[in-house]
Amino acid sequence: MMRTEAKETRSAARSSSSLWKRGYVGYGLILGFVLVLLYLMVSAQFNYSPHAAAYANPTTIKAADTVPAKRQRSRHEQDAASRGMEELGRKEVVEGHTEKSTARLQEEQDKGEQEWADKNPIEERSGNERNSDNWEEKHKAKEKDTVEFTEFGGGTDDFNNVAHTKPICDTSFGKYDICELDGDARARGGAAATVTLVSPRAPLREWTIKPYSRKYLDGLKAVKVKSVPSPEYAPQCTTRLNVPAMVIELGGFTGNYWHDFTDVLVPLFIGARRFNGEVQLLVVNLLPFWVDKYRKIFNQISRHEIVEFDKDDDGAIRCYPHVVIGYGSRKEFTIDPSLDSTGGGYTMVDFTKFLRQAYSLPRDRPIKLSKSPADRRPRMMILERTNSRKFMNLHEVIAAAEAAGFEVTIAGRPRASYDEFAREVNSFDVMLGVHGAGLTNCVFLPTGAVLVQIVPYGRLEEIARTDFGDPARDMGLRYIEYGIAAEESSLMDVFGKDHPMIKDPVAVHMSGWGNVAEWYLGKQDVHINMERFKPVLKQAMEHLR
């Protein structure tokens, strides 16, 4: 009996021990499963973190750090916008370009950009400087646009034939605007004149440009400039000329002799000389009589027919590999190569050489007294004005100049043809005159000749230097300035020495341009004090030695 109980006790103990062992194994399996699960979760989290990606693929994280977030996203946005444009184009465009499709395209692009902006915080977008409006202004010095005019192949969709990613329309300068369209440029004339650039890399944009050198004047006509991504959004070409074109406007102050050169002829040289005659002019507000006057200059600028752009047949679509819209110069009546992009670094010396070539003028240099025969005298042209700012003692000025050793000729309004007058001016060594448009003729003097400007009374020195003094120096002329004293002005007899017009010219200027223009420029004549003036004549003679 006891043996039986002992046996049962041992059997129960073994059974209890087996249960404990099976319990430990079960707990161990559960614990192992939990540990494996935790490991997998941690491993997955680590593998998907940016830092793990950096260690796993250093090249990928480096690229992500160097490319702004907006630029990465904008490519996708642009692809989507492009696909949307193509789909929209298939629905709306049947033949050529329509204003409706362009507006829809702009709306689609604007909508896409706004959706992207809503999805991305400002701190991500602020890093994309190139897409900001002022990027070109900040980087203008670093990325100066250059155009190779020897490789025009006409406009196509091929990326290799598009020199710029977009048309460059610089409207930041207050005096004039300039656009340069390089690639497939299409010009439609008429009342609503438009120039369109077709480029797969050009943004959909539109500008309104007044292609004149003083865009702020009233009465000017505008030309629209557009860029579109593909030919289906542009008018179809009816003619194609494999040379550049330049869109300019006449009008404004055209007809005033100084403004003819300052506002048209010098800016035209700046914009078109680089093409060496291989450029077609598309002219808004064409003045045939005026162009005829300067026909020899225009023939040097372009060997192609001038197109009256705003009266061109509405059905004509003229296509070019490069089009420039607008022109101007940063300074008055001169060229500053550091500011004016001429494409060839041209200066006013180059401009006067260009004029001598256009008019076949023989003299490049004035007389050199040290090398001339003793009986040969330098020639002086004195400009005689017929309205205001006349010489009241012209005969004394002539006598003093002849006594100083000059051969003197008086010149008023040209009686001969303009071409003959330019040739006559070129024969002189010195030009002398009171501030006014007639001094513009100094462009025909030989390089190294002398210009003497008589500046009327009334604090007009700055105006005189801007209009003629600085340009003369830039032309390579020797410049001399003679300022009229109050006693030499006819205004002294009109107002007396105690009148503000005589006593306080600064106050007159502060009162507005009206009084300056009316009295100092419009109603003043000069009586030269010959004792004061003789040193000027002597200095002019010394410049020729």
Kindly write down the DSSP assignment for every residue of 221-238, as one continuous string. --EEEEEESSGGGSPPPS
CB 280 within 8 A of CB 302: yes
Average pLDDT over residues 103-115: 47
Closest-CA residue to 302 (of 245, 258, 377): 245
pLDDT band at 202 (very low <50, low <70, confident <90, very high): confident
Q: What is the CA radius of gyration of the chain?
A: 39
Window from 138-142, 179-183, 407-411, 507-511 with minimum mean pLDDT: 138-142
Measured CA to CA, the distance from residue 286 to residue 323 in angstroms comes to 18
Burial group, residue 114, by CB count within 10 angstroms (0-12, 13-18, 19+): exposed
Window from 199-208, 211-220, 230-239, 289-298 with minimum mean pLDDT: 199-208
What is the structure's pLDDT at 32? 72
What is the structure's pLDDT at 190? 94
Window from 9-18, 294-303, 451-460 with minimum mean pLDDT: 9-18
What Å distances lie between residue 409 and 64, 394, 405, CA to CA?
77, 12, 13
CB 138 within 8 A of CB 131: no
Look at residue 183 and give its three-state secondary structure: strand
**Residue 18 pLDDT > 80:** no
What is the structure's pLDDT at 315? 85
| CB contact set of 425 (below 8 Å; sequence gap of 6+) | 381, 411, 431, 441, 444, 445
Closest-CA residue to 281 (of 328, 239, 327): 327
3-state helix, strand, coil in the chain (%, to 5): 45, 15, 35
493 versus 151: the higher-pLDDT residue is 493
What is the structure's pLDDT at 90? 36
**Residue 163 pLDDT > 70:** no
**Residue 137 pLDDT > 80:** no
Closest-CA residue to 165 (of 187, 150, 191, 143): 143
What is the structure's pLDDT at 342? 94
CB 317 within 8 A of CB 186: yes
What is the structure's pLDDT at 44? 52
What is the structure's pLDDT at 41? 65
Taking the CA of residue 462 as centre, how many other CA atoms within 13 Å lie in the half-sphere pointing to its CB?
3
Measured CA to CA, the distance from residue 110 to residue 520 in angstroms comes to 55
Lookup result for tokens 């230097």: 465
What is the structure's pLDDT at 49? 38
Q: Residue 185 has which token pair?
A: 């440029």
**At residue 373, what is the residue type?**
P
Average pLDDT over residues 241-261: 97
What is the structure's pLDDT at 535? 98
Window from 414-423, 454-463, 526-535 with minimum mean pLDDT: 414-423
Q: Residue 529 has which token pair?
A: 């004090």
Write a three-state SS string for 127-172.
Answer: CCHHHCCCHHHHHCCCCCCCCCCCCCCCCCCCHHHCCCCCCEEECC
Domain residues of the chain, as ranges? 147-346, 369-542
Average pLDDT over residues 235-256: 96
Measured CA to CA, the distance from residue 453 to residue 496 in angstroms comes to 26
Taking the CA of residue 503 as centre, how many other CA atoms within 13 Å lie in the half-sphere pointing to its CB?
6
Q: What is the pLDDT of residues 338-380, one digit of tens each?
A: 999 999 999 999 999 999 999 999 999 999 998 878 778 999 9
CB 265 within 8 A of CB 335: no
What is the structure's pLDDT at 151? 31
**Residue 52 pLDDT > 70:** no
CB 248 within 8 A of CB 284: yes
pLDDT band at 25 (very low <50, low <70, confident <90, very high): low
Write a three-state SS string for 348-365.
Answer: HHHHHHHHHHHCCCCCCC
Q: 522: which DSSP letter?
A: T
Look at residue 187 and give its three-state secondary structure: strand
**Residue 525 pLDDT > 90:** yes
Measured CA to CA, the distance from residue 144 to residue 438 in angstroms comes to 38
Average pLDDT over the chain reads 79
| CB contact set of 62 (below 8 Å; sequence gap of 6+) | none
pLDDT band at 31 (very low <50, low <70, confident <90, very high): confident
Q: How crowded is residue 364: how many other Cβ atoms within 10 Å of its Cβ?
A: 12
CA dihedral defined by 359, 365, 367, 372, rounded to 10 degrees? -110
Q: Supply the CATH classification number for the domain 369-542.
A: 3.40.50
Measured CA to CA, the distance from residue 15 to residue 2 in angstroms comes to 20
pLDDT band at 324 (very low <50, low <70, confident <90, very high): very high
Q: Residue 187 has which token pair?
A: 């010009």
**Residue 269 pLDDT > 60:** yes
**At residue 399, what is the residue type?**
A
pTM, two decimal places: 0.71
| CB contact set of 262 (below 8 Å; sequence gap of 6+) | 213, 329, 332, 333
Window from 34-38, 129-133, 514-518 with minimum mean pLDDT: 129-133
What is the structure's pLDDT at 248? 98
**Residue 392 pLDDT > 60:** yes
Closest-CA residue to 237 (of 96, 59, 442, 113): 96
What is the structure's pLDDT at 201? 81
What is the structure's pLDDT at 14? 47
Q: What is the pLDDT of residues 465-523, one digit of tens each?
A: 999 999 999 999 999 999 999 999 999 999 999 999 999 999 999 999 999 999 999 99
Closest-CA residue to 333 (of 469, 461, 177): 469
pLDDT band at 24 (very low <50, low <70, confident <90, very high): low
**Residue 125 pLDDT > 70:** no
Write down how long the chain is: 545
DSSP code string of 396-415: HHHHHHHHTT-EEEEE-S--
What is the structure's pLDDT at 28? 67
Taking every pair of Cα atoms in the chain, the longest distance, rounded to a whole number of angstroms, is 168
